[in-house]
Amino acid sequence: MATSSTRQRKLARAKLDRQLARQAERERRKRQIRAVAAGVTTLAVAVLGGMWIGGVFNKKPETPPAASDCTWNPQNVSGNANLKDVGTPKTTGISSAGTSVMTVTLNTGTIGITLDRASAKCGSESLAYLAGASFYNDTKCHEVTNGENGQYALRCGDPSGTGNGGAAYTWVPENVAPKAEPSASASPSAPATPRYPRGTVALQPGLTGSQFLIFYKDSPAPDLDYSIVGYVTTGFDVLDKIAAAGTVDNGSGAKTKPKDDVTIQTLSVVDSAEPSAAPSTEPSTQPSPSAKPSS
């Protein structure tokens, strides 16, 4: 029969064995953790080393492509023989500040125009592009409207002379003249503010990239949505003479063709640092390039 001291020794031995087993388990776990950590470190070093060798850290961050300032939509030349393919203007880096001076030299005189890039950068860019390509040189202005649809304007920019042609691209309209809203407080006898005051230069970008209108008289034109691109500063007398000369049948039954040929000899567009570089010969009631008429 085991004595009391023998049982005590057995209990102490069992306790010691349990302590040693727990200690051994802790050491085994520590070794596993160290092994895993070493493996992760080795893998990270290998990956980073491979990236360094591959020159990843030497590459500069890629610059995202610049968004297009203007989107030009090429038209089907084969579907319209009156269109002329002259390419398209640039799409990025287009100035949207300041003004440009457009000089239209006609066989009847010269008209000076200030283009407003801040309000119509795409229209201004299109005119500058076509002017640089000599697109307008030696072309005839094909239409003078005398109140038709409420407009009084000289239209140019279609080398075919049909009114259905021009540069073979279009773009989204910009700076469209707002429609006049009737006011209950306005006097019935008070004249309405025209959508297109005398001297306004406008485009129809949904039709063609090149046709432009110069309004020689205040025009309400309530149903004609043009993009205003600038204003005449000099040459109102030239416009008046063209309008006064009258019109003849355009070959399609409409009396809109200028009676006397109006030919653009040259057309140029030059950036201007001074918005008022070309003073207007009109009275102060006419629109100026630095202050567009309100609608």
CATH number of the domain to which 80 belongs: 2.40.100.10
Nearest to 198 by CA among 223, 232, 226: 232
Same domain, 22 and 163: no
Same domain, 163 and 38: no
- Per-residue confidence (pLDDT) for residue 272, from 0 to 100: 78
Same domain, 48 and 166: no
Same domain, 115 and 228: yes
Structure tokens at 212: 């432009």
Q: How far apart are CA 83 and CA 208, in angstroms?
A: 8
Within a domain: 213: yes
- Side chain identity, residue 79: G
Vertex 161, ends 174 and 265: CA angle to 5°? 85
Is the distance from CB of 101 to CB of 272 less than 8 angstroms?
A: yes
Within a domain: 188: no
Q: Which residues lie closer than 8 Å to 85 by C-beta, 6 or more apart?
A: 74, 77, 168
- Per-residue confidence (pLDDT) for residue 28, from 0 to 100: 72
Within a domain: 123: yes
Q: Which residues lie closer than 8 Å to 161 by C-beta, 6 or more apart?
A: 140, 142
* Residue 137 CB burial class (10 angstroms; 0-12, 13-18, ≥19): middle
Same domain, 199 and 99: yes
Same domain, 83 and 213: yes
Same domain, 49 and 145: no
- Per-residue confidence (pLDDT) for residue 94, from 0 to 100: 93
Vertex 155, ends 228 and 269: CA angle to 5°? 60
Q: How far apart are CA 76 and CA 246, in angstroms?
A: 35
Q: How far apart are CA 94 and CA 119, in angstroms?
A: 13
Within a domain: 187: no
* pTM given for the model: 0.70
The low-confidence residues of the chain, meaning pLDDT below 70, are 1-21, 23-25, 36, 39-40, 44-68, 180-192, 273-295
For residue 22, give its domain range. 8-58
Same domain, 217 and 173: yes
Report how many domains make up the chain.
Answer: 2
